[in-house]
Amino acid sequence: KKKLKISGRDLASVPVQVFSLDQLQVLEMSPERESCLRYRMELLPPEISRLRNLTCLYVDSNNLKKIPAEIGTLSHLERLTLSNNSLSSLPPEMGALQRLHSLHLANNSLTELPTPLCQLRSLTFLDVSDNKISTIPSSIRHLEKLETLLLLFNSLESLPEDVCLLRNLHTLWLGNNHLWSLPASFGELVNLDWGCNYCSCNFEGNPLERPPPEVCSRGPEEIRYYFLSFRRT
C-alpha cells in the first residue's frame, strides 16, 4: 500500500505492523478536522524511521509530547502536520528534512521558533499559530522559498529585520501578538497582497501605531490605505 489512514478515538499508539510497509508514502493518524476529536497518541516511536518512502505524515490532534530524532531520516518527507498536540520543543534533526515544503505546528506549547526549522530551505508553508513564541531567530532569513508564514496568537513583541528578506512571502499573519512596531524595511515585502477584497497580512489584536510611519513611507501605496482602514475599525 502507498497510502494508509488509521482512525479511532482510542488510538494511542502506532500499530507495529505499519513499520513493515516500507513502500508507504502517506500515513495519516489524525481525526477528521470537522469531528473535533482528539486521539490519545503521546509518542511517535523511533521506528518511524523505517518508513523511508514517506512523503506525507499527518498526526494532528493527538497528544504528542515529543518527536523522535529519527524523524530526520525521512528524507522524502514533503508534508508534516503536527498541529493540536502538546509539543514544547522539536528535535534538531528536523533540520535534515530538506524536501519538506509544508509544516503545520499550530496550537502546541512552543515558546520559540526552533532554529532547526530555519534550515529547511524548501519550506513554502509554515504555521506556528497559537503557541507561546516570543522571539523569531534572525536565521529565519534562510527560508528563501517561504510563501506563507502564520504567527497568530503568540507572544511576539518585535519582528527582526530578517523577516523582510523573505521576498517570496505572499501571506503573513501576525494577529493577536504584542507588536508595537514593525521593521523599517517591512514595506519591501512587495508580494504581500494589500488589496481591499483580500488581505494576506493581518495585524489585528496588536498595539501597533497606526499607520506605522516607518512602514508607510516605503513599499506600495496600498499599505497606507490598509493601515488607515485598520485605524478606523
Per-10-residue mean pLDDT for the chain, 233 residues long? 85 90 94 72 93 96 94 97 95 95 97 90 96 94 95 94 93 91 82 63 78 62 64 51
What is d(CA 170, CA 167) in angstroms, rounded to the nearest whole number?
9
Q: Which of 3.80.10.10, 3.30.300.30, 3.40.50.300, 3.40.190.10 would CATH assign to domain 110-232? A: 3.80.10.10
- The pLDDT value given to residue 215: 67
Grid coordinates of 181: 512596531
- The pLDDT value given to residue 136: 93
What is d(CA 117, CA 101) in angstroms, rounded to the nearest whole number?
11
- The pLDDT value given to residue 178: 94
Q: Which residues of 3-19 are buried (b: 16+ CB within 10 A; e: fewer)?
A: eeeeeeeebeebeeebe
CB contact at 8 A, 181 and 209: yes
What is the pTM (predicted TM-score) of this model? 0.89
CB contact at 8 A, 192 and 221: no
List Cα–Cα distances, 34 to 30, 61, 106, 107, in angstroms.
Answer: 11, 12, 16, 16
Q: How many Cα atoms sit within 13 Å of 197 on the Cβ side?
A: 0
